[in-house]
Amino acid sequence: MNDYQGNRWSKKLTLARLAEQKAQQLFQDIAILLDWLKNDILALAGPDYHCRSELWDFIVAELKQREDSCLHRIRPFRTALFNQKKIYWLLLLFWMKNLAISPNVLIFPCI
């Protein structure tokens, strides 16, 4: 094998490692956002309505920033979150009304 082929493979390996690092960072970022969605927004106990709403908007904005990294996977999910926000809040308000819970007080003490 001559030096030219060695350089070619070395360059491909370097590019592959950079792509791997970007993919790992994207995975970590998305995992954090989904964790917030699960534990801070969709959980029964948690922040009040306004905080949840702001966090929802923040997550949608952060997903939009990362959309170009994996367009075919992130855009459908981000679009669904954006479109379903009103439905989620209406459902949440319906539950709170039936449970006689104030919409601004959704914090439950640990037992």
Look at 78 and 111; give whichever has higher pLDDT: 78
- Looking at residues 26-41, what average pLDDT do you find? 92
pLDDT of res. 111:
32
Sign of CA dihedral 54, 46, 89, 97: negative
Largest CA distance in the chain: 77
pTM (global) more than 0.85: no
82-103: pLDDT as tens digits: 998 888 878 777 776 777 655 5
H-only helix segments in the chain: 3-36, 49-66, 71-99
